[in-house]
Amino acid sequence: NAGVTQTPKFQVLKTGQSMTLQCAQDMNHNSMYWYRQDPGMGLRLIYYSASEGTTDKGEVPNGYNVSRLNKREFSLRLESAAPSQTSVYFCASSAGQAIYGYTFGSGTRLTVV
């Protein structure tokens, strides 16, 4: 089925460990996004990539890095995980124009202990 695939779905990390969240879309979308969702906070934008080869900071970029590997893939890396990064992470993609809407992955629940 066409859509956005995120891996892993669940992860537990120890403080200071690093990991990469993977995201891939097969809809030939230009733009991709990483959000985090915390209780009572809605979804907040971490980083986005308007097109292959470009990335920009969102509202809450501190502690994260991203890579737009190619048009399909957009990864999010935590270099040194902290408990404050415990959250649900969503990847999304869009064709680049709002009229076409956004497609979301199923999310990654990350716990940092």
Partner 1 sequence: AQTVTQSQPEMSVQEAETVTLSCTYDTSENNYYLFWYKQPPSRQMILVIRQEAYKQQNATENRFSVNFQKAAKSFSLKISDSQLGDTAMYFCAFDSGYALNFGKGTSLLVTP
Q: Contact with partner 1 (CB under 8 A): which of 5, 61, 86, 88?
A: 88
Distance, in Å, from the CA atom of 104 to the CA atom of 85, rounded to the nearest integer, reads 20
Residue 74 is a binding residue for partner 1 (CB under 8 A): no
- Write each residue from 14 to 53 as x if it is in contact with partner 1 (CB under 8 A), else as -, in one continuous string: -----------------x-x-x----xxxxxx--x-x---
Question: How many of the other CB atoms lie within 10 Å of CB of 69?
Answer: 13
Closest CA to 33 of 110, 112, 111, 107: 107
Tokens of 101: 């809407």
Q: Kindly list the residues in this chain that would bind partner 1 in the complex (CB under 8 A).
A: 31, 33, 35, 40-45, 48, 50, 56, 58, 88, 90, 92, 98-99, 101-102, 104, 106-107, 109
